[in-house]
Structure 1
């Protein structure tokens, strides 16, 4: 498995977005893993190398966050892990000077110029692409639960949006984003990709923005439904749960759950609104249920794999901690109530940086 994290850069004094992302990355030292630019210059991205244990994921995430945070501090900036930019910005985000990004911006218009979104993308290895498509089908019902566990973007453009993951709502405006349909085969998956490319909804395969997709670069399924995690520990939780779900799906002989596209979209909307502390739409029963109960069901479903990899203790202890301190969105709202928007940004920068 591997984890990609997208971050925002803010000025340490004004807390406004900074456009120094590309310059910061050019000056960054070599590190195990990748540091990359994103569509807008206020964003930076990290990607771990291939990992096999929870401790290895956590170690690499801390190293990459530490490198980026140190580079940011040296320039009078701070690194923050938030799915959306909390403060109001007086001007649209500046685009990274990259031919592909310019092409996307010219084609997508205001979609590309809207407030930047930061997610956590998790890659899990699969034997082949046909198996990967069946894994996607089995993962679809769990996407709302993973989103609820990751909610970390209640504020955007200076206001509380009323959602716990505004990123997921904002990002879903892209025509190639959102939950994937159910596929009968890899050929059907490729036909859906072809239709998005032919229509111009996606300019290239990298713009297939489904919440879970096949990677074209690696032999993996890539989960893209989550907000960027507030801490490396929470990102590791998402990664080991994702691996457990994929592993169960690879070896499953059960039929693919008959989940309609509109029911899944409704469940994702509810997860974005309520997060882990409210009600979720139970796609198995068609009724609302406490999202905490749906999280428990996910853990119960994956216990055999979590025990196999030695991850169960980590999952249980991290979930217990989150039950005490609240989700990323809950902590953002608490910081907003205590210190306003600038206090919120300060809290985000403090929890983003790894514990020394």
Structure 2
């Protein structure tokens, strides 16, 4: 059956955050200001919270092919600029090496200074890199209803997008160490179920007025209405190790939003899953990743995360029919199931590296790659 034409408003875009590191030690290199000057003519590149972080944002894209082309172009652009500055670009949720950040490393922009003044104890939690996927919605009212329907599936997105197993030179035991770090922010939590856009806006105002956020952009729900664009923004995953990882996440999120819209059109109510259960499932996904136990938020049962990921893919079939992304998403999802998440591949690279420099170079090579190689176990494909 031919895919139904995609609604003209269901566009998408992807934001990616990266670290700049020394090729031998893996320590942070504060090269973002110089890179931003080198790339001043490229509006898609912007500084991030720390002077050793840099961010890209694709233009509004109509499909996954365009997303892939833009992500690949922007990563290559940053790799070249980083080389000119004398450092490496790496895609990982937290720095694998180095010491905690200092005030001198904060990018000199008013908003970042305000964040440091308001939350001085959370400086280390700001030094993380994520992947944010935006999907267009026809109105904020529809967007709020979409949030109520996608919140239950955020743990599976985190499990498949986990890419930060190392910090301070050691294996943390978590597939996404970024998640517990980022969750220290007072608003970094799952979205609630809101009756309408007015209810949502009131919740945002309350968090800003109470001091939990400096402004609406500082309300860091794992999925939210974008404060700047007519989109639903899903912010739960670590930055992908490869372009493949980011394209998979974009396809999953767009299909999730499309499925939610189909449910809304059919009059199906949003599932009343307790927020605390979603938070517990997110913690399990961050710790164990795709290969360990997870929590089924609908039943509360402990369930293999791979089964929960398959449940997500089954749930997305209506949305994938709408977007026409089924073949690409299924291909990429199969690659992650066989080849491992970014965290799995980082651990394999670390085990195969004789020195810190070798591991850093492997991370940089994976960051620049469009395709994610399959993970091998004892010389055989998993």
Q: TM-score, normalised by structure 1?
A: 0.96
Aligned match for 2:191, one of 175, 180, 185:
180
Equivalent-residue separation in structure 1 for 2:301 and 2:125 (angstroms):
34
Is 1:38–2:48 an aligned residue pair? yes
Aligned match for 1:160, one of 146, 171, 179:
171
Deviations along 1:23-50, whole A, 9 cap, x unmatched? 111111634x611111110100000001
Equivalent-residue separation in structure 1 for 2:110 and 2:188 (angstroms):
22
Aligned match for 2:268, one of 240, 245, 254:
254
Match of 1:110 in 2: 121
Equivalent-residue separation in structure 1 for 2:280 and 2:100 (angstroms):
33
Alignment of 1:21-36 (within 5 A): 21-28=32-39, 30-31=41-42, 34-36=44-46
Contact 2:125 2:184 in 1 (8 A): no
Match of 2:365 in 1: 350
Match of 1:189 in 2: 200
Contact 1:122 1:223 in 2 (8 A): yes
Q: TM-score, normalised by structure 2?
A: 0.89
Contact 2:49 2:126 in 1 (8 A): no
**106-115 or 167-176: bigger deviation:** 106-115
Is 1:64–2:79 an aligned residue pair? no
Q: Which runs of 4 or more aligned residues in structure 1 lie more than 4 Å from their structure 2 counterparts after TM superposition?
A: none
What is the RMSD computed on CA atoms of the aligned residues? 1.6
The 1:5–1:184 alpha-carbon spacing in structure 2 relative to 1, beyond 3 Å, is same
Aligned match for 2:65, one of 51, 55, 58:
55
How many residues are aligned here? 355
Equivalent-residue separation in structure 1 for 2:192 and 2:243 (angstroms):
31
Q: Secondary structure at the match of 2:316?
A: helix
Unaligned residue ranges in structure 1 (runs of 5+): none
Q: Secondary structure at the match of 2:19?
A: strand
Match of 2:339 in 1: 325
Deviation at 1:110, TM superposition (A): 2.2
Equivalent-residue separation in structure 1 for 2:128 and 2:233 (angstroms):
17
Match of 1:202 in 2: 213
Contact 2:290 2:341 in 1 (8 A): yes
Deviations along 1:107-140, whole A, 9 cap, x unmatched? 1102024561000000000111111111001011
Contact 2:157 2:236 in 1 (8 A): yes
Contact 2:13 2:67 in 1 (8 A): yes
Q: Secondary structure at the match of 2:115?
A: helix
Alignment of 1:141-290 (within 5 A): 141-252=152-263, 253-290=267-304
Equivalent-residue separation in structure 2 for 1:156 and 1:308 (angstroms):
40
Deviation at 1:321, TM superposition (A): 1.7
Deviation at 1:324, TM superposition (A): 2.6
Is 1:312–2:326 an aligned residue pair? yes
Deviations along 1:47-87, whole A, 9 cap, x unmatched? 00011111110000000001001100112111000000000
Contact 1:84 1:115 in 2 (8 A): no
Match of 2:317 in 1: 303
Deviations along 1:124-159, whole A, 9 cap, x unmatched? 001111111110010111000000010000111222
Deviation at 1:248, TM superposition (A): 1.2
Deviation at 1:265, TM superposition (A): 0.6
Q: Secondary structure at the match of 1:89?
A: coil
Q: Secondary structure at the match of 2:59?
A: coil
